[in-house]
Amino acid sequence: MMKCKHLSKVALLTFGFATTAVQAADAICYNCPPEWANWGGQLVEIKKELDISVPMDNKNSGQALSQLVAEKNSPVADVVYYGVSFGINAAEQGVVEPYQPANWDQIPEGLKDPEGKWFAIHSGTMGFFVNADALDGADVPQSWNDLLKPEYRGMVGYLDPTSAFVGYASAVAVNEAMGGDLDNFTPAIEYFQQLKKNRPMVPRQTAYARVISGEIPILLDYDFNAYRAKYNDMANIEFVIPAEGSIVVPYVMSAVKNSPNQENGRKVLDYVLSEKGQQHWAEAYLRPVIAGTMSEETQSKFLPDTDYERAVTVDFGKMAEAQNHFAERYLNEVN
């Protein structure tokens, strides 16, 4: 079983909801932040369609898993959303239980645990989420190496790769692009050491609003956040899949073991994989896991397929196994 050495410290921290919020909820979802992947809109639809109230929750993937581990003997959450490596980790730690939701058979193999302890609901492609108005006249960067140039000093941000899944995914992406693999993270460590000289910002939580405001001009993030900012918030945003390459990664959900509102939690999981739920993700510029649920109009807003050819998938099981080792190296050699 994979150990979570770097997460054990996080588990000592206090996250969660106020008592009144828990009492008012019909189901609790850990890591369903309103600004991320339009969870805010999805939870509104869940209330409308199912009459189930689910409070928004601003944990990241690592914090959510740490909280589940801390509450293992007395669970608070009913469902959880996180990056795939954390879903695999949660299954190994015994904090989630098997559930095969609606449209289970339409989820491709490799994007679900055989027993249903985790399953993908959508995916995104890692790249540069760029506020072009905040670049002080610099060009929009086109490569990982561009970010090391002095003109981008103090402009680049990435989420903490020891806690937030998007941060770890960015590390895997740059590592693959620089010639590494899941057995060798030295290229990523060396890259972040060089980037540190350019004074990057490293928040722990989703930083969508900070890019829109121009506080973080360039964020290592997914395509769906950039497209949402460009087409919904009408900001001068560019999304770039770096020239050296990147990765595509799924986000997954699980039913929490021995949850207090199991029936409502399972209804939520069914809904996010229903046709309506999947269409909602597509309208938020995520690639739904169920084929055929994205309209041509939405697809036309994405970068050309030739750009996406630079983004590859990796062995997600191995990605999960490598996560703690990378985190230890990052904390010791970069942080």
Q: Considering only the top CATH level, what class is 124-248+306-333?
A: alpha beta
Q: Could you say which of 3.90.1150.10, 3.40.50.720, 3.40.190.10, 3.30.420.240 is the CATH number of the domain covering 5-123+249-302?
A: 3.40.190.10
Give the pLDDT confidence of 8-29 residue by residue, as tens digits.
Answer: 333 333 333 333 334 468 999 9
Q: Which residue has the tokens 């001009």?
A: 217
What is the DSSP annotation of 44-102?
HHHHHHH------B---HHHHHHHHHHTTTS---SEEEEEHHHHHHHHHHT-EE----T
pLDDT of res. 205: 82
Q: Identify the CA nearest to 119 among candidates 155, 82, 77, 163.
A: 82
d(CA 326, CA 182) in angstroms, rounded, equals 9
Q: Are strands 119-131 and 237-240 parallel, antiparallel or unpaired?
A: antiparallel
Instruction: Give the residue extent of every domain in the chain.
Output: 5-123+249-302, 124-248+306-333
What pTM, to 2 d.p., does this model score?
0.83
Give the residue ranges of the chain where pLDDT is below 70.
1-24
Q: Are strands 29-30 and 79-83 parallel, antiparallel or unpaired?
A: parallel
5-123+249-302 and 124-248+306-333: identical CATH topology:
yes
- What's the DSSP call for residue 228? I
- What's the DSSP call for residue 42? H
Q: Are strands 119-131 and 287-288 parallel, antiparallel or unpaired?
A: antiparallel
Contact 80, 30 (CB under 8 A): yes
pLDDT of res. 23: 43
Give the distance, in angstroms, between the CA of residue 290 and the centroid of all CA atoms in the same chain: 18
Instruction: Count CA atoms closer than 13 A to 283's CA, side-chain side.
Output: 10
Give the pLDDT confidence of 123-148 residue by residue, as tens digits.
Answer: 999 999 999 999 999 999 999 999 99
- What's the DSSP call for residue 261? T
Residues 6 or more apart whose Cβ sits within 8 Å of residue 35: 206, 208, 209
Element (H, E) at 173: helix 165-177
Note the residue count of the chain. 335
Q: Identify the CA nearest to 277 among candidates 44, 79, 97.
A: 44
Contact 227, 241 (CB under 8 A): no
Q: What would the two tokens of residue 285 be?
A: 């510029």
Contact 67, 30 (CB under 8 A): yes
pLDDT of res. 24: 60
